[in-house]
Amino acid sequence: RAVAAAVLAVPIALSAVEAASWGTTTGDGTLRYVTDAQGRALILRGLNTASSAKSAPDGMPDYPESMVEQEHRLLGTNFVRFLIQWRNVEPRPGRYDDVYLDNVAERISWYAKRGMYVMLDMHQDVYGPATNGNGAPAWATNTDGLAAKAQDPWELGYIQPGTLRAFDHFWNTTGQHPELRRHYANAWKHVAQRFADDPAVLGYDLMNEPWGGTLPGLAFERGPLSDLYQQTTEAIREVDLNKWVFLEPRAVGVNWGLASGLRAIDDPRPGEDRIGYAPHVYPLPLDIGGQYTGSSEKWTDRTLRAWSRAVTATARRQNAPIILGEFGIDNTKPGALQFVRSVQSTAEAMRAGQAYWSADPNDGWGPWNSDKTPSELAPVLARAYPRAIAGTPTRLRYDETTATLTFSFRDKTAVTGSTEVWLPPEDFPRGATVTASDAPGSWRQTWDPESRSLSISTPRTGREHTITITPAR
Ligand code: 9MR
């Protein structure tokens, strides 16, 4: 721990420098948003579903439809980062498992039924089962006979010799396996073909927490990782011109607030690019077992600020909307709930989507206890937010101490439909009092206590609208 603490200071000091060199402005409204069929900007909130899929032979998470219903009702989620795996998509080279994709489609329909959106995440940790991780099929795992033993903590598996070699072959750093990246891109093409016309699917998160094997961080991102993203985007566009392609940076370093070296990816679709950015945040002080208290809280807060600047800079370079694809913590630890609130307000200030790690009910991290009843985290995740905004969002903030939700947006042509806000019963037991910057009488609101959703229609004024929502007395 002492060594780890010493190592800690270095990346955090570096992150400030790296982030500054990319420029650091936020909040000027030039960020992009994923929009719905009515052109409204979506603010996405949901859970990663689920870690249990990693080891299930059929690749399905242990998360029945009743749990989707429970989270949508209690947490107000409108989004899921749904785990899929290469080993299930392409169990034999060039052979795809369409029964697997049918099962995925059925799960997606559970979200669709509730008006929720899905980002498919091609998950991997520590390469694949053949290196004691998950994700890649055994046929695509070349360790050259080197050991890849399971480690505790699991992240150390990334530096097992056999795991490093499997990644080096995948990225073709070794020059021996140029076919593997092609397989990966084509596996995604097959997935995209299956879901291109499914309106609940927003897009594709191309690779979970990429790791460059022996190739160091920035060189890895600028080189083979960006190359894979370009190649995969092109493969997807052969069959699907409309879904968003989400990029993740390298995990090590960027999850701690360092800048990413990803190149901008060229989207061959006609019209505006649809490339999104879906980084994770796992501040190093907590990653190495610290609690969100004392000096580790201070360094974590600094990490969150550096992370927010670095992520915003990368997103601007790509003109990409941002979804925080993972953040999470063992919420039985002191300070954990406060940490979650800090991340939520950081992501809010960025008007980014957010997916909590994870929906699994049995590891102390999720919003559910092992008997699937809500854990102490549930009311923290059940946070008021505008699900869809009828324009371009420019500001978003929720103050949980006063239960005040404030957001601003500008009119945008081609938006139909009204702004939809979800309000949790804990903070808004009797509904809400709304004030809007528009002239009284020119906007309309309706409250549906059943779905806890407030709909607000504002006139087109050409000016910025600001809406403030507080609990009704
Ligand atoms: O929480 C997950 C843990 O139970 C698993 O052992 C581990 C290895 O598969 O993965 C953990 O989930 C991680 C996710 O896959 C990637 N981002 C970080 C998550 C938390 O460590």
- Report yes or no on whether pTM surpasses 0.90: yes
pLDDT of residue 15: 40
How far away, in angstroms, is 67 Cα from ligand 1 center?
20
Q: What tens digit of pLDDT does each residue of 350-377 get?
A: 999 999 999 999 889 999 999 999 999 9
Q: Please give the DSSP secondary-structure letter assigned to residue 137.
A: -
How far away, in angstroms, is 288 Cα from ligand 1 center?
14
The CA distance from 204 to 97, in Å, is: 18
Q: Would the CB of 134 count as within 6 Å of ligand 1?
A: yes
How far away, in angstroms, is 51 Cα from ligand 1 center?
7
pLDDT of residue 441: 85
What percentage of the chain's residues is helix, strand, coil (to nearest 5)? 35, 20, 45
Residue nearest atom 1 of ligand 1, based on CA coordinates: 51
Atom of ligand 1 nearest to the CA of 133: 9
Q: What tens digit of pLDDT does each residue of 436-447 get?
A: 999 888 999 999
pLDDT of residue 57: 97
Q: Would the CB of 155 count as within 6 Å of ligand 1?
A: no
User: Residue 122's beta-bridge partner residues?
Assistant: 84
Q: What are phi and psi of 443, to 5 degrees?
A: -125, 160
Residue nearest atom 12 of ligand 1, based on CA coordinates: 51
ipTM of model: 0.99
The CA distance from 168 to 170, in Å, is: 5
Mutate to test the pocket of ligand 1, among 121, 154, 211, 332 (most ligand atoms within 8 A of CB): 154
Neighbours of 66 (CB within 10 A): 9
The CA distance from 54 to 59, in Å, is: 6
Q: Would the CB of 141 count as within 6 Å of ligand 1?
A: no
Q: Which residue has the tokens 């697997």?
A: 100
Q: Containing H/E element for 387? A: strand 385-389
Token pair, residue 384, equals 């008021």
- Tell me how far CA of residue 297 lies from CA of 12, 19, 285, 303, in angstroms: 13, 21, 8, 10
The CA distance from 141 to 372, in Å, is: 36
Q: What tens digit of pLDDT does each residue of 173-225 get?
A: 999 999 999 999 999 999 999 999 999 999 999 999 999 999 999 999 999 99
Residue nearest atom 9 of ligand 1, based on CA coordinates: 125
Q: Would the CB of 52 count as within 6 Å of ligand 1?
A: no
Q: Would the CB of 45 count as within 6 Å of ligand 1?
A: no
Atom of ligand 1 nearest to the CA of 208: 16
Residue nearest atom 7 of ligand 1, based on CA coordinates: 154
pLDDT of residue 26: 38
Q: Would the CB of 267 count as within 6 Å of ligand 1?
A: no
Contact by Cβ (8 Å): 133, 180: no
pLDDT of residue 194: 98
The CA distance from 213 to 236, in Å, is: 25
pLDDT of residue 462: 87
pLDDT of residue 30: 63
Q: Would the CB of 327 count as within 6 Å of ligand 1?
A: no
User: Residue 399's beta-bridge partner residues?
Assistant: 404
Mutate to test the pocket of ligand 1, among 124, 248, 357 (most ligand atoms within 8 A of CB): 357
The CA distance from 73 to 451, in Å, is: 7
The CA distance from 424 to 412, in Å, is: 28
How buried is residue 377: exposed, middle or buried, by Cβ count under 10 Å (0-12/13-18/19+)?
buried
Atom of ligand 1 nearest to the CA of 280: 17
Q: Would the CB of 330 count as within 6 Å of ligand 1?
A: no
Q: Would the CB of 363 count as within 6 Å of ligand 1?
A: yes
**Which residues of the chain are under the pLDDT cut of 70?**
1-30
